[in-house]
């Protein structure tokens, strides 16, 4: 049991928390602007798949990453247009995107590689080093600063709390919300790319395995604030890292019971310890003038 608190588990916690953090910070920008982003899972999958495919062809992970970001922004744009332009139900649109992103990678990889299971293996030399981990954690203070110390952040928060007030103050609520949602697509896609061309070397079907939802849970548990969200991601990351370490360490316990730990923890935390989390007041509410 001593290994559980070893240096390696710290390292592995950070590794596991990185994609969560990227997606959660993306979700934060979208939700603080007032648009629910339940599509984080789908956006991560888009990023993971596209970057794996492009890296395979281009032989360069950075080009792959850029392509992944592009795909995340593109899919997020669909969400944004539906939610902001057409006042759709944001949860339904997000769910549709998640379902779509379960199917499209399978379809495309079937067409491209004649196998629907996964994309081809990428050589180790063509993978992204652990840089995203550092970048992700460096983003926390950056996003904090943007949110609380720049005009854009003020407008973003106002759009999510009281869009009418923002509008009458001469702020374009639509422009702000588009920006928030598109940025969430870019960040979640980086999180996804880190899974496929960072931690592993190929894309497999549904490889995010609910991480987008855990990121969303971390965002809520973190009360839509950057630093608390990071801590929540680390908590969930630790749970998963510990589960990985415990496999095989503890005898006579089926692996499945250990693997469910992070998911159970997510539910328990959301149900029991969330306290008086207050969502942005206009979250999920399309803004239309009277």
Select from 13-21, 37-45, 169-177, 204-212 the region that touches other proteins (CB under 8 A): 169-177
User: Which residue of 152, 175, 248, 250 would you call a contact of other proteins, by CB under 8 A?
Assistant: 152
- DSSP H stretches of helix in the chain: 7-32, 40-58, 61-80, 90-113, 131-149, 151-161, 163-168, 173-194, 211-221, 226-246, 255-259, 261-272
As a whole number of angstroms, the distance between CA 245 and CA 12 comes to 9
165 binds other proteins (CB under 8 A): yes
Of 98-117, which residues contact other proteins (CB under 8 A)?
none
Report which of 210, 177, 189 is spatially closest to residue 73, judged by C-alpha positions: 189
C-alpha 232: how far from its chain's center? 13
31 binds other proteins (CB under 8 A): no
Select from 16-24, 75-83, 153-161, 188-196 the region that touches other proteins (CB under 8 A): 153-161
Please give the structure tokens belonging to residue 210. 């609910």
User: Which residue of 113, 135, 167, 206 would you call a contact of other proteins, by CB under 8 A?
Assistant: 167
279 binds other proteins (CB under 8 A): no
Select from 154-162, 192-200, 225-233, 247-255 the region that touches other proteins (CB under 8 A): 154-162
CB nearer to other proteins: pick between 252 and 289 = 289
User: Which residue of 129, 170, 251, 272 would you call a contact of other proteins, by CB under 8 A?
Assistant: 170
User: Which residue of 153, 209, 228, 244 would you call a contact of other proteins, by CB under 8 A?
Assistant: 153
How many other CB atoms are found less than 10 A from the CB of residue 66? 17
| Long-range CB contacts (within 8 A, 24+) of 166-175 | 167/287, 167/289, 173/34, 173/287, 174/84, 174/85, 174/287
162 binds other proteins (CB under 8 A): yes
Please give the structure tokens belonging to residue 89. 């139900």
The set of residues, in sequence order, having a beta carbon less than 8 Å from that of 260 and lying 6+ positions away, is none
Select from 27-35, 41-49, 69-77, 146-154 the region that touches other proteins (CB under 8 A): 146-154
Interface positions with other proteins (CB under 8 A): 149-155, 157-158, 161-162, 164-171, 278, 281, 289
């Amino acid at each position: 049991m001593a290994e559980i608190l070893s240096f390696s588990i710290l390292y592995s916690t950070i590794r596991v928390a990185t994609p969560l953090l990227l997606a959660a910070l993306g979700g934060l920008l979208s939700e603080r602007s007032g648009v629910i982003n339940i599509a984080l899972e789908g956006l991560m999958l888009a990023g993971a798949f596209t970057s794996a495919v492009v890296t395979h062809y281009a032989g360069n992970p950075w080009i792959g990453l850029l392509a992944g970001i592009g795909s995340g922004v593109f899919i997020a744009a669909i969400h944004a247009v539906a939610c902001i332009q057409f006042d759709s139900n944001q949860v339904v649109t997000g769910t549709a995107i998640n379902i779509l992103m379960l199917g499209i990678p399978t379809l495309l990889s079937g067409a491209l590689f004649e196998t629907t299971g996964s994309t081809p293996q990428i050589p180790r030399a063509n993978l992204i080093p652990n840089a995203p981990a550092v970048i992700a954690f460096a983003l926390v203070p950056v996003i904090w600063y943007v949110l609380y110390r720049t005009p854009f952040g003020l407008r973003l928060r106002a759009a999510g709390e009281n869009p009418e007030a923002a509008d009458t103050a001469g702020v374009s609520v639509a422009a702000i919300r588009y920006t928030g949602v598109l940025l969430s697509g870019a960040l979640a896609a980086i999180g996804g790319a880190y899974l496929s061309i960072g931690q592993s070397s190929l894309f497999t079907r549904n490889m995010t395995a609910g991480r987008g939802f855990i990121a969303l849970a971390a965002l809520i548990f973190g009360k839509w604030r950057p630093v608390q969200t990071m801590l929540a991601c680390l908590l969930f990351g630790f749970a998963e890292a510990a589960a990985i370490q415990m496999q095989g360490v503890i005898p006579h316990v089926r692996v499945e019971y250990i693997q469910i730990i992070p998911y159970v923890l997510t539910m328990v935390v959301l149900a029991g310890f969330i306290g008086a989390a207050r969502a942005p007041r206009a979250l999920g509410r399309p803004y239309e003038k009277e």
